[in-house]
Amino acid sequence: MSIMLFSAIAMFGSTIYAATFLTYGYPSTTIPIRTYNYTSAWQTPMDSSLANWNNAGAKVQFTKTSNSPNTITVGNFNNTAYGVNYASVSGSQVVSFRIELNASTITPDATNLSNFIQSVFVHELGHSIWLGDNPTTTSPSIMSYSRNRNSMTKPQTFDINNVRSKY
Amino acid sequence: MNKNRVLTLLLSSIFILSVVGCSSVTPTASSSNAPMTIIASEDYPSYASIGDLSERANTIVKGSVIETRVEAVNDIVQVTDAANENELTPASDPGGEPSSFDKIYTIHTIQIAESYKGGYKAGEHIEVKQLGGQLGNTEIINDDNLKLIPAKDYVLFLETYEDTPASLLNSVQSLYVIKPAGKSNQPGQQQSQSEVIVSANPENDLSLQLTDLQEIQNEQKNQ
């Protein structure tokens, strides 16, 4: 147990600052996502989020299939994040990922729920295609923590160009 | 192999199967002994001022880490009470059946030296969780997390929960280090005769001052 504790402490010793790119991304431009089913208040903007990436000209296509290992879960979670992307990684490749959207944090902060959901989901999808959190840039970015989630629903030119550079 | 070790391996296995969706198409899932690395990236709220940050936090304390452990935690809110279910709105109840799974959290026990907001008192302990850690051969790496180490005093802006340890409001703006005066060379820091408050994250553009904490504490007392 002490070894595990040491490992955890050692790991947390490294704070990695905002970077435009992660060190990993999905290996192909077609990215399957397991079919999901939620109430229309969530389902519709979630579907729009996939379309927002698919129509952005970023070379990537998210497709819904019944047997994908890549999953989306919406629920109420006891943490302060709007969303989390858990990526299982091998080298520089995403093997599979799980995205969680947190209704407990999204709902109270959203003045436009549909836009807010899209902003968070598009952001989390961005992590699967190489994009890192909170990039240091003056350009608008869907990956920025300080973006207006009630209005920014689509990947921005900065994000699109970054994804295109990886595929 | 002791009991804790067996429990650890069992929880790790459950976590692995959950994340990879029990799929045989994932190479890492095909070998049960292979190390599993999962990288977590979170989308956090950003706050425009210390005032906004303190308003959102339901607990603000100063304290130090006295114990750290790594644990599997299922942080999903279980709505089993029919009354609660009826209170859910379409926005807060997304429907579906969220697949819950245990995540690896690093949990710090903080001994509170001073309380500025919330129900905790000096001398009490509060547990604070951070996503990430290693159990068995499964590791969650969360690059956004800030280092919390013993022997340092922190100011923490927290959200607390009934069933799980508290969480920092975000990874950038909600953790500050108290340092003895004269030991910090960062700009924008607040100095007093005895101590200095420095953000634990250099990316943080908010500056926390002792007067801010005093104001928060005074507001709490007046309520």
Q: Tens digits of per-residue pLDDT, B89-122?
A: 667 788 877 666 789 999 999 999 999 999 999 9
Contact B98 A75 (CB under 8 A): yes
Q: By CB neighbour count within 10 A (0-12 exposed, 13-18 middle, 19+ buried), where does B63 fall? A: buried
Contact A42 B94 (CB under 8 A): yes
Average pLDDT in the A20-34 region?
Answer: 97
Residues of chain B neighbouring A12 (CB-CB closer than 8 A): 106, 130, 132, 145-148
Other beta carbons less than 10 A from residue B210's beta carbon: 16
State whether residue B90 sits within 8 Å of chain A by CB: yes
* CATH 2.40.50.120 fits domain B3-222: yes
**C-alpha distances out from residue A67 to A63, B20, B24, B62, B100, Å:** 11, 12, 11, 48, 18
Per-residue pLDDT at A49: 98
Contact A120 B132 (CB under 8 A): no
Q: Say how far residue A89 (Cα) sits from the centre of its chain.
A: 15
Contact A79 B96 (CB under 8 A): no
Q: Compare A65 and B86 and report the one with higher pLDDT.
A: A65
Interface test with B, best of A11, A107, A109 (most B CBs within 10 A): A11
State whether residue B169 sits within 8 Å of chain A by CB: yes
In this predicted structure, the answer to whether residue A18 has a pLDDT above a threshold of 80 is no
Residues of chain A neighbouring B161 (CB-CB closer than 8 A): 78
CA distance B83 to B65: 38
Torsions phi, psi of A160, nearest 5? -60, -45
Interface test with B, best of A1, A4, A39 (most B CBs within 10 A): A4
Per-residue pLDDT at B186: 58
Q: Could you tell me the pLDDT band of residue B181, with boundaries at 50, 70 and 90?
A: confident
Per-residue pLDDT at B180: 81
Q: At what angle are helices A40-54 and A113-128 packed, to 10 degrees?
A: 50
Among A74, A76, A87, select the one facing B39 at the smallest CB separation: A87
Per-residue pLDDT at B102: 83
Find tokens 């030119």 and name the residue.
A157
State whether residue B157 sits within 8 Å of chain A by CB: no
ipTM > 0.90?
Answer: no
In this predicted structure, the answer to whether residue A60 has a pLDDT above a threshold of 90 is yes
The three-state secondary structure class of B138 is strand
Average pLDDT in the B135-161 region?
Answer: 91
Q: Are B166 and B160 within 8 A, CB to CB?
A: yes
Q: Could you tell me the pLDDT band of residue B190, with boundaries at 50, 70 and 90?
A: low
Task: List own/partner pairs for B14-18 with CB under 8 A and 24 or more apart.
Answer: B14/B72, B14/B101, B14/B102, B15/B72, B15/B101, B15/B102, B15/B103, B15/B104, B15/B135, B15/B138, B16/B138, B18/A98, B18/B99, B18/B101, B18/B102
CA distance B40 to B131: 8
pTM score, two decimals?
0.84
What distance in Å separates residue B219's CA from the closest CA in chain A? Answer: 24
Contact A75 B76 (CB under 8 A): yes
Per the DSSP assignment, residues forming a β-bridge with A110 are none
Sheet holding B133-135, edge to edge: A71-75, A93-102, A83-90, B36-43, B138-141, B133-135
Tokens of A88: 């299982």
Interface test with B, best of A86, A131, A153 (most B CBs within 10 A): A86
Contact B164 A78 (CB under 8 A): yes
Select, from the ranges A87-96, B3-12, B34-43, the one with the highest average predicted confidence (pLDDT). Answer: A87-96
Strands, DSSP E only, in chain B? Answer: 36-43, 59-73, 103-117, 125-131, 133-135, 138-141, 153-159, 166-168, 175-180, 190-191, 195-199
What distance in Å separates residue A63's CA from the closest CA in chain B? Answer: 17
Q: Could you tell me the pLDDT band of residue B34, with boundaries at 50, 70 and 90?
A: confident
Per-residue pLDDT at B21: 40
pLDDT in tens, A66-118: 999 999 999 999 999 999 999 999 999 999 999 999 999 999 999 999 999 99
Smallest CA–CA distance from B24 into chain A, residue: A69
In this predicted structure, the answer to whether residue B30 has a pLDDT above a threshold of 90 is no
Contact B95 A37 (CB under 8 A): yes
Per-residue pLDDT at B29: 34
Per-residue pLDDT at B35: 81
The domains of chain A, with CATH numbers, are 17-162 (3.40.390.10)
pLDDT in tens, A122-167: 999 999 999 999 999 999 999 999 999 999 999 999 999 999 999 9
